[in-house]
């Protein structure tokens, strides 16, 4: 698959997520994805599988939110096997924190799946959910 196809996969997954299909993005991840969440938050590290990422980052973060994150895509840039996604996620923390996150994800695709990714985000906002 080329850059345009990979870009469309991301756009479609986020459109589905915005319509309420929260697992849509997870379907794009390869089983052996290497996903890094930057910083020193409780979920910051490199995960070496989809399952590890789900259990180590997605589920712990979701458990601290009062509802699902509502995504809004700002930009998708694709070149070669890379897709860069700028997006915003909105939710409320169970502790009263307003979760208004800005993300930039840099992803590398192989055979229509994300095999590597790095999530850049406001780490202080993540930490506030654990307080």
pLDDT tens, position by position, 94-116: 999 999 999 999 999 999 999 99
Is residue 128 within 8 A of residue 44, CB to CB? The reply is no
**Contact criterion met (CB below 8 Å) for 26 and 58:** yes
Q: Which domains can be identified in the chain, with CATH numbers?
A: 3-129 (3.10.450.50)
- How would you label 12-49 residue by residue, b for 16+ Cβ within 10 Å and e otherwise? ebbeebeeeeeebbeebbbeebbbbbebebbbbbebeb
Q: For 54-65, what is each residue's pLDDT tens digit?
A: 999 999 999 999
Q: Model pTM?
A: 0.93
């Amino acid at each position: 698959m080329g850059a345009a196809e990979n870009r469309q996969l991301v756009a479609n997954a986020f459109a589905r997520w915005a319509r309420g299909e929260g697992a849509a993005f997870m379907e794009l991840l390869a089983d052996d994805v290497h996903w890094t969440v930057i910083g020193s938050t409780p979920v910051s590290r490199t995960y070496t599988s989809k399952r590890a990422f789900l259990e180590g980052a997605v589920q712990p973060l979701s458990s601290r939110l009062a509802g699902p994150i509502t995504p809004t895509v700002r930009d998708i840039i694709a070149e070669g096997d890379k897709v860069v996604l700028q997006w915003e996620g909105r939710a409320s923390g169970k502790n009263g924190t307003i979760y208004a996150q800005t993300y930039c994800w840099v992803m590398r695709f192989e055979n229509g799946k994300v095999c590597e990714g790095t999530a850049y985000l406001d780490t202080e906002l993540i930490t506030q959910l654990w307080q």
